């Protein structure tokens, strides 16, 4: 499933936020992620886990690919920080 491409206004806002967090970096383009956005939807947890394992195995076999970040929207970060 594909989400709409991140617009230029939202990308600029994200860059400004990152610049505020890293004042030494004038234009932190390397921090801009997920411009073309995509997602996968699974009916069960086991489908999700199977996909994740297969995806990681395939990425590890191909040196052209690199995973920069995995975002887990199911983790409650407020609980993690306690």
Query: pLDDT, tens digit, for every residue of 23-50?
Result: 777 666 767 777 766 777 888 989 989 9
Query: pLDDT, tens digit, for every residue of 43-56?
Result: 898 998 999 899 88
List the structure tokens of 68.
């920069």
Give the start-to-end residue ranges of the domains of the chain.
8-72
Average pLDDT for 54-74: 80
- Those residues with Cβ within 8 angstroms of residue 67's Cβ, 6 or more apart along the chain or in another chain: 56, 59
Cα–Cα distances in Å, from 68 out to 33, 34, 71? 9, 10, 10
The reported pLDDT for the residue numbered 47 is 93
Residues in the chain: 82
pTM over 0.85: no
State the Cα–Cα distance between residues 49 and 35, nearest whole angstrom. Answer: 25
- Beta bridge partners, 38, equal 2
């Amino acid at each position: 499933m594909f989400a709409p491409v991140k617009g230029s206004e939202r990308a600029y806002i994200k860059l400004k936020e990152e610049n505020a967090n890293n004042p030494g970096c004038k234009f932190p383009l390397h921090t801009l992620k997920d411009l073309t956005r995509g997602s996968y939807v699974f009916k069960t947890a086991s489908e999700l886990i199977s996909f994740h394992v297969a995806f990681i195995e395939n990425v590890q076999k191909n040196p052209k690919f690199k995973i920069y970040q995995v975002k887990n929207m199911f983790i409650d970060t407020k609980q993690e920080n306690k």
